[in-house]
Structure 1
Amino acid sequence: MAKKVKYYFDTESLAYKKIKTSFKRKFAYVGGFILSSALFGFLCFVVLLNTTFFETPKDRLLTREIETMKLKYSILNKKMDQIDEVLANIEDRDNNIYRAYFNTSPIPDEQRKAGFGGINRYKELAGLNNADLVINTSKRVDIISKELAIQSKSLDEILKLAKEKNKLLAAIPAIQPVKNEQMKRIASGFGYRSDPFTKARKMHEGMDFTANTGTPIFATGDGVVKNADNSKSGYGNHIEINHGYGYLTLYGHLSKYNVRAGQRVKRGDIIGYVGSTGRSEAPHLHYEVHKDGKVVNPINFYYGNISAEEYTVISRLANQENQSLD
């Protein structure tokens, strides 16, 4: 194909003359074309980089790493599910076997499962790719770590209780405060009874053992005498023994004391003698057992010095709704 020749009309010579392009102009035309083509190509490359139609080797590598990370997090969460199951089993045995055996309070779920208050601990993770996955997994790890710390501390406490088992067993108030052969009868048990003075039905927080004045009273477990005086209204001369492990016993209406405050006593030691001091209708011993600050039925603790037949008789008598002696 022949090259096109361009002409222009010369007004002076009134003739058509051929247009001649200089080398510089030709070079400028070629350079401009090359530059514009390069710029257009660069723009297209940038656009392609930001679309899914064009993936660099680095992008493919990052994609594989992200998928691998998701897989690892999935495996980690499955392992944490297994840890949760094992930990829940340990916590159940801790509360319902170990702590029940050593007669100590279970750890409430609110304490075991408590979250983390205050500032946002995961703020720095919020801007990451797959932030929800990373944050939720981090939370689970933190919660499990806290539960493990609580359980570890609990097992340390159980181990300590196991080492002190003999002390615990000796401290529990496990015998009657008055010997069977020295009792006339169990006058009144634990529960609602008729008041001997007002005849009104009210809560009787202990057991009344009728016996002659001067009958020996025995400490029902090892402990330290908290007080031996008449400071409590209605109890007359009375003794309180702190046995530790949450146990406290009270012996009321004594005729006289055989111990003093601060003195350490053993189960079976004579601590005082039956009387009728204070708000009392007749010679008897009023006996109470407290656990963790709450009054409990003393009949549940007479397993150290009576037979099953004797326990049955005592239980039947104690459960009669009669009149108390104080």
Structure 2
Amino acid sequence: MAKVKYHYDPETLSYRKIERKKGKTVTYGFIFLLASSLFGFLFVFIASQYIQSPRERALKRELSNMELQYQLLNKRVDNAFAALESVEERDNSIYRLYFEANPIPQEQRRAGFGGVNRYKKYEGYDNSELIIESNIRLDKLQKAVVVQSRSLDEIAVLAEDKEKFLSSIPAIQPVRNKDLKRMASGYGYRTDPFTKVRKFHFGMDFTSPRGTPVYATGDGVVIRADNNATGYGNHIRIDHGYGYMSLYAHLYKYEVRSNQKVKRGDLIGYVGSTGRSEAPHLHYEIFKDEERINPINFYYGNLTAEEYARLLQKASLENQSLD
């Protein structure tokens, strides 16, 4: 039951009932509702600023964890770049230098990505800068790894080719020292044993008994094993590739045939005195790009420094050749 209010009238010395108008009641009600709404809105606004819901707290934890993970990721990227830079330094200053390949410039290794904005999808977030920067660094790292990987692939091919090259170059004496009587004649002007005229001798003569083994001085393919060349008698020619060819003349007999592949140190024939020869010996020549060159520079594979010095001294003497 609603309370009834009275008003005391001092003139009549009596209480008079207060009558509330309906319009005011509605107005007061509206004001009350409006004030309540405003107060509720204000409360919710303040609460939203200082009081977080369980979902908001979970999302905030997730965001903090994501920021931490990005920071850790950036540290790992720093470590990866440091390790990669060490490999790149060795690649440029050792590997590529050794195999005579041009170093890869740093601007090529660290080149960015031109054209369209690759990171537009990461824009518009509170942590967009962190996310974009991390993705840029990861992309640069990935590209640098690809460049280095291709460089190492190239080095591997060069190394394989270098190994093949080093195996192919004539690098040993065709007759072992223990089987030699002497080094009879070297490369250069010598006296012809038949005409006694001074002429250029294009090989080296190794004196050994008939039947002494003769060995291939480098890997290659036998391109001739016959006696169809004037003066050489039974002789063998080996193509070593890279412009090199070796020739072994005045042989007693062969142990190889044309188109046969041989390795350095393989037995290919025996010392003889066939063709234009005064006594059993091996006449040995080396060609580079179809030009005869001095074989004295190609014995580093099986001679000591002392042995090579003695051979060099004997080869420099202008004596009589045996062919």
TM-score tier after normalising by the smaller chain length: 0.5 to 0.7
1:165 CA displacement: 1.0
Matched residue SS, 2:167: helix
Quote the residue 2:177 is aligned against: 180
Contact 2:99 2:159 in 1 (8 A): no
Matched position secondary structure for 1:235: coil
Which protein has the larger Cα radius of gyration, Structure 1 or Structure 2? 2
**What is residue 204 of structure 2 aligned with on the other side?**
207
Please state how far the C-alpha of 1:251 moved relative to its aligned partner. Answer: 0.1
Q: Which structure 1 residue ranges, 5 or more long, are not aligned? A: 1-93, 101-155
Partner of 1:302: 299
* Partner SS for 1:314: helix
- 1:167 equivalent in structure 2: 164
Task: Provide closer, same or farther for how the CA distance between residues 230 and 98 of structure 1 changes in structure 2, counting only shifts above 3 A.
Answer: same
Residue 242 of structure 1 pairs with residue 239 of structure 2:
yes
Whole-angstrom CA distance in 2 between matches of 1:202 and 1:157: 48
Aligned residue number for residue 262 of structure 1 = 259
Deviations 1:228-258 (A, max 9, x none): 0011100000000000011100000000000
Post-superposition shift, 1:158? 9.0
Aligned residues: 178
- TM-score norm. by structure 1 comes to 0.52
Aligned residue number for residue 317 of structure 1: 314
Q: Which one-letter code corresponds to 1:315 in the other structure?
A: L
Using the size of structure 2 for normalisation, the TM-score is 0.52
1:193 is matched with which residue?
A: 190
**Aligned position for 1:253:** 250
Q: Measure the CA separation in 2 of the matches of 1:262 and 1:169.
A: 21
1:276 pairs with 2:277: no
Answering whether residue 224 of structure 2 is matched by residue 227 of structure 1, we say yes
- Per-residue CA deviation, residues 133-184 of structure 1 (Å, 9 max, x unaligned), is xxxxxxxxxxxxxxxxxxxxxxx99985443111111101000000001000
SS at match of 2:274: coil
Superposition RMSD in Å: 2.2
SS of alignment partner, residue 312 of structure 1: helix
**Does the 8 A contact of 1:99 with 1:158 survive in 2?**
no
1:292, CA displacement in angstroms? Answer: 1.1
Moved over 2 A (4+): 96-100, 156-163
Alignment of 1:7-156 (within 5 A): none
Letter in 1 for 2:314: L
Secondary structure, aligned partner of 1:267 = coil
Three-state SS of the structure 1 residue aligned to 2:178 is helix
Query: In the alignment, is the contact (CA less than 8 A) between 2:190 and 2:320 conserved in 1?
Result: yes
Letter in 2 for 1:175: I
CA gap 1:99/1:290 in 2 versus in 1, 3 angstroms: farther
Listed one character per residue, the Cα deviations across residues 94-142 of structure 1 (whole Å, up to 9, x for unaligned) are 9x98669xxxxxxxxxxxxxxxxxxxxxxxxxxxxxxxxxxxxxxxxxx
Say if 1:174 and 1:304, in contact at 8 Å, map to a contact too: yes
Q: Which residue of 1 aligns with 2:146?
A: none
Distance 1:259 1:158 in 2: 35
Q: Which amino acid aligns with 2:218?
A: G
Q: Give unpaired runs (5+ residues) of structure 2.
A: 1-95, 102-152
1:196-226 CA-partner distances (Å, limit 9, x unpaired):
0011111100000000000000000000000
